[in-house]
Chains A and B, each alone.
Chain A
Amino acid sequence: MKDIVSVDHLRVEFATDSGPVVGVEDVSFTIAPGETVCVVGESGSGKSVTSLSLMRLVEFGGGTIAAGALRFRRADGTELDVAAASPSVMGEVRGNEIGMIFQEPMTALNPVFTIERQLTDGLMLHKGLSQAQASARALDLLRSVRIPEPERRLKQYPHELSGGMRQRVVIAMAMACEPKLLIADEPTTALDVTIQAEILALINRLKRENGMAVLFITHDMAVVAQMADRVVVMYRGRIVETGTVDQIFTAPKEDYTKALLAAVPKLGEMKGKPAPERMRLIGDESARAARIAPVARKPQVLLDVRHLTTRFPVKGGILRRTVAQVHAVEDVSFTLNVGETLALVGESGCGKSSCGRSILRLVQPTSGEVWIGGRDIGALSHHDLRRARADMQMVFQDPFASLNPYRRLKDQVAEPIVNFGLASGAALKARVEELFDRVHLPRTFLNRFPHELSGGQRQRVAIARALAVNPKLIVADEAVSALDVSVQAQVLNLMMELQEDLGLSYLFISHDMAVVERVAHQVGVMYLGRIVEIGPRAAIFENPSHSYTRQLLSAVPIADPTKRRFADDLSFKPIKSPIFPLGHQPAPSVYTEVATGHFVLKD
């Protein structure tokens, strides 16, 4: 066998109280030396189970390899039947001949051991190195993954490193024994887009330099397009389709692959289009009228934010006094028209969520004004604010956490209506049913509890609840980020449909540039609490004028294998700290208008 890995009719079962459940079934694929194979699929597709089976780690999660063969060609040329190997042989292979990196850099490192200890223990175990030799090798490894100040990092603990640095340490750990195969299970899913770009480029370089094969597990078709030589598409525990990356993207054979690709927004595909467009989903009735008519009426301002500033205290010292401030939102101004979507984009910690919350006064802004429909929200009394909240609703990221697990869905959707005294009795019942229809949920769901629904269905309930009081403005904070791509597309289409029918305005807070390009009329790019660039969608995406906007756009993976961008090492400027000493008086935000309605922050 020339392949380094060959998986043949793999079947993995999980023992449950009600008998065995099949995790994956009839999975077969091969990996050649030096090749990157991407396994792509949505949640529950079995992609992680497949990768964990290759390491025989699946058994620690209660799974058993019930049938099929997993062959791995070892460094000495012999072929190992992974499914039948003894624990001691697996101990030699794991971390030594197969390296693995995982999704969550924040939790992948042991918080109570130093970086050095975690980098060296595998080396001492597998390669028989002394402590001093292993430490020297650990330092080399940190250099090869381009961590700044590698000597200092060795003595540090994981919490002292940023997420991007931690993922580099995890990669260094996986690379320590120079494995022939690297398994990367969603290695960049939890990272910001610029750090994702850096990590993807790093994996590409290490693969090239070491002639290593890579098994890359992801849900993100754009990452697949950027990384893969060959692609394995999985759905519900089975392989749907395999092929080279070009075949999969240009001529997918199976309906599922086609549907998956249709649901992925591709950065740049909205070029030259005047207004947001719904996605043309295969088999989705509501997508027939795929195009949202440009808003015909005269633009009318709904939300006017002026010099909004929000700072959070950092407490310290014996008396818990404020010793510094987080400048979460710093002199932010914009307007949002009736029936339009303004997207706030930026990386984690840029202040986009704090901005949304400050507008609704869920957190108290430090200064600035927020006008909604001609009313100054900041000046409202507690009582009036409660009334005003009917006009402005919020949809949160995590539909699992934002619904009460102990209450029936109909009661949760009815709650805001009852709260504001808008309807009762039969009228209330009719209104809730209408809302369920509105978000395309069957009325049979009325009496269900949140745990009986999928993530997408729950987010529909959250949207129905927000719609219940006929709001004018909906702040959607990463509302589709936790959803699978096909579900995400459906929820986005629903949101656009509701906007068209009800004239809603969205403040759409997101980190995903490709999604934003789909849904937004206006885009504001946030960095360190400020809007660095704001303007019509086309202007931001086609003529990005602030250096940060350009950096952000250059880091977005494009779901098109002919547009590869992460070949060589990338290093973006790390984002500065938003914490400033107490007396710090930041300069006001001053903008240059580079084109009509397109403003860029003066640095």
Chain B
Amino acid sequence: MTYVLNRLLSVILTLFLITLVTFAVTNILPGDVAMMIMGTQSNPAALEGLRQSLGLNDPLLVQYGNWIGGLLTGDWGTSLIFKKPIAELLAQKAVASAIIVVMSMTIALALAVPLGVWAAVHRDKWQDTVSSSTALMGVSLPDFFWGIVMILVFARWLGWFPSSGIVEPSEDFLGSLRYAFLPSLALGLGLMAHLTRMTRSTMTGILGQEFIRVARAKGLRESTVIWRYALANAIGPVITIAGLQIGYLFGSIIVMESLFGYTGMGWLTYQALLNRDLPLIQATVFVIAAVVMITNLLVDLLYVLIDPRVKLG
């Protein structure tokens, strides 16, 4: 328990640092928020009035204090482009994106683990070459390329999945999964590469261990030896890599959601960046950082369940 508290404390400290950095960076960026809202041709007096009301003329420290205070009390400000409360906007989009994150990671693991195990079992044979080439291809080609391939194959030619758009999960959950599938698959193929390599290398190490030989000497079936004895030991590092990839995934999601017209967090971030919606940028960066850190904390806690040798503390 002290371990969890300890880790939470460090998450909070890191988040605090992140707010400092995001606030600083967004304030150094050139451009005037008030001018962005009202347009370049607007009346200087009206601009000044808007600056006053937005608090843009306050000292930076006060502005930062106001922002943090808002973050903590749930008042995340108003998006400049959507003219809606940011908290409400994020809450709605986050669910849609969570579906993509979970689905793409599931697809990646479901493909990578068997492929990696297969390569490790047949190490230095043709199966290994096939597995490494597949993984290498997955990682060398950018995500958006996979997105285009998916649209072509599954939407255009086969017509199995929609090529674009979104259904709100609150309205039709299964329908929302259908819309999320293609972007998730494209992301999953990119994620798969590292996970396959990781599975292969940890499995290779584990299969060389004495306890695997002991398991075989007990007369256990080869499938038991590989999928129970070996995989139970190899899965930990794979999960850790998967956790770290969540961060990378949020970068890819921006492109992928825009490509598929899937209006989730990624799309929202893209819009915010495009239109210099500073309050929205600050909020999304903060949320993404928080999600990545909490995921990694959860992965570390999961480790305790996987490996009895790991003790919290």
Is A93 located at the chain interface by the 8 A CB criterion?
yes
The answer to whether A157 touches B209 (Cβ under 8 A) is no
Whether A112 and B219, one on each chain, are in contact in the complex, defined by CB atoms closer than 8 angstroms, is: no
Does A113 have its Cβ within 8 Å of any Cβ on chain B?
A: yes
Partner of B229, one of A87, A107, A110: A110
A47 to B279, CA, bound (A): 72
Is B83 an interface position by the 8 A CB rule? no
- A81-113 Cβ-contact flags toward B at 8 Å (1 or 0): 000000100111111100110111001111111
Closest residue of chain A to B230, judged by CB? A110
The residue of chain A having its C-beta at the shortest distance from the C-beta of B209 within the complex is A107
Quick one: given A102-B210, A318-B2, A318-B6, are A112 and B218 in contact (CB under 8 Å)?
A: no
State whether the Cβ of A442 lies closer than 8 Å to any Cβ in chain B.
no
Q: How far is the CB of A373 from chain B (nearest CB, A)?
A: 47
Most interface-central of B210, B215, B219, B308 (chain A CB within 10 A): B219
Determine if B178 is an interface residue (Cβ-Cβ < 8 Å): no
**C-alpha gap A358/B213 in the complex (Å):** 40
The reply to whether A107 and B210 contact each other, CB–CB distance below 8 Å, is: yes
Does the CB pair A173–B214 fall under 8 Å? yes
B214 with A122: CB separation less than 8 A: no
How distant is A482 from chain B, measured CB to nearest CB, in Å? 18
In whole angstroms, how far apart are the Cα atoms of A92 and B221 in the complex? 10
Known: A157-B309, A316-B313, A318-B2. A91 touches B221 (CB 8 A): yes
Question: In the complex, what residue of chain A is closest to B9 when comparing beta carbons?
Answer: A318
CB distance from B125 to the nearest CB of A (A): 11
Query: Residue of B at shortest CB range from A114?
Result: B308
| Interface residue A406 (Cβ < 8 Å from any Cβ of B) | no
Q: Pick the contact of A125 from B220, B308, B309 — CB < 8 Å?
A: B220
Q: Is A492 an interface residue (CB 8 A)?
A: no
Tell me, yes or no, whether A159 is within 8 Å of chain B by CB. yes
Cβ-defined contact, B220 with A112, below 8 A: no
Residues in chain B near residue A99, CB distance under 8 A: 217
CA distance A94 to B225 in the complex (A): 14
Residue in chain B with minimal CB distance to A56: B216
Is the C-beta of B110 less than 8 angstroms from some C-beta in chain A? no
C-alpha spacing A170/B210, complex, angstroms: 11
Whether A110 contacts B215 in the complex (CB less than 8 A), given A91-B221, A159-B308, comes out as yes
**Neighbour of B220 across the interface among A55, A107, A122, CB < 8 A:** A122
The answer to whether A112 and B308 touch (CB under 8 A), given A57-B216, A94-B218, is yes
> Which B residues lie within 8 Å of A122 (CB)?
218-220
A96 x B219 contact (CB < 8 A): yes
Say whether A178 faces chain B, with CB atoms less than 8 Å apart. no
Given A122-B220, A159-B308, A112 contacting B213 (CB threshold 8 A): no
B307, CB-defined interface residue at 8 Å: yes
Complex alpha-carbon distance, A102 and B221, angstroms: 19
Asked if A157 and B308 make an inter-chain contact with CB atoms under 8 angstroms apart, the answer reads yes
Residues of A within 8 Å of B232, CB to CB, are 110, 112-113
Q: Are B214 and A111 in contact (CB under 8 A)?
A: no
Does chain A have a CB within 8 A of B294?
Answer: no
Contact pick for B217, options A87, A95, A107, A316, CB 8 Å? A95
Asked if residues B217 and A55 are in contact (CB atoms below 8 Å), the reply is yes
Distance between Cα atoms of A103 and B211 in the complex (Å): 11
Q: State whether the Cβ of B233 lies closer than 8 Å to any Cβ in chain A.
A: yes
For B2, list chain A residues within 8 Å (CB): 317-318
Q: Which of A378-400 contact B (CB under 8 A)?
A: none
Q: Which residues of A contact B220 (CB under 8 A)?
A: 91, 95, 121-122, 125
A205 on interface, CB distance cutoff 8 Å: no
A265 to B167, CA, bound (A): 81
Q: For the complex, is B306 an interface residue (Cβ under 8 Å from A)?
A: yes
Which residue of chain B has the shortest Cβ distance to A17 in the bound complex?
Answer: B124
Assess whether B221 is in contact with A100, with CB atoms less than 8 Å apart: no
Q: How many Å from the CB of A100 to the closest CB on chain B?
A: 4
Residue pair A112, B214 in contact (C-beta under 8 Å) = no
Contact with A along B116-139 (1 / 0, CB 8 A): 000000000000000000000000
- In the assembly, what is the distance between CA of A90 and CA of B219, in Å? 7
Residues in B188-228 with C-beta less than 8 Å from chain A: 209-211, 213-222, 224
Chain A residue, CB-CB nearest to B309: A159
Q: When chains A and B are docked, how far (Å) is the Cα of A126 from the Cα of B221?
A: 11
Contact partners of B218 in chain A: CB under 8 A: 94-95, 121-122, 125, 173
Closest to A170 in B: B214
* Contact present for B210 and A108 (CB under 8 Å): yes
B129: shortest Cβ distance to chain A, in Å?
15
List A96-150 residues whose CB lies under 8 Å from chain B.
96, 99-100, 102-104, 107-113, 121-122, 125-126
A44 to chain B, nearest CB (A): 19
The 10 residue pairs across chains A and B that have the minimum distance between CB atoms: A95-B219, A95-B218, A94-B219, A100-B217, A122-B218, A107-B210, A157-B308, A110-B211, A108-B210, A159-B309
A-B contact pairs, 30 of them (CB 8 A): A55-B217, A60-B213, A60-B216, A87-B222, A91-B219, A91-B221, A93-B219, A95-B218, A95-B219, A95-B220, A100-B214, A107-B210, A109-B211, A110-B211, A110-B215, A110-B232, A111-B233, A111-B307, A112-B307, A112-B308, A112-B309, A121-B224, A122-B219, A125-B218, A125-B220, A170-B214, A173-B214, A316-B313, A317-B2, A318-B6
Extra contacts besides A91-B221, A110-B229, A125-B219 (11): CB < 8 Å: A55-B217, A90-B219, A94-B217, A95-B220, A111-B309, A112-B308, A113-B229, A113-B232, A126-B219, A173-B218, A318-B2
Residues of B with Cβ closer than 8 Å to A?
Answer: 2, 6, 209-211, 213-222, 224, 229, 232-233, 306-309, 313
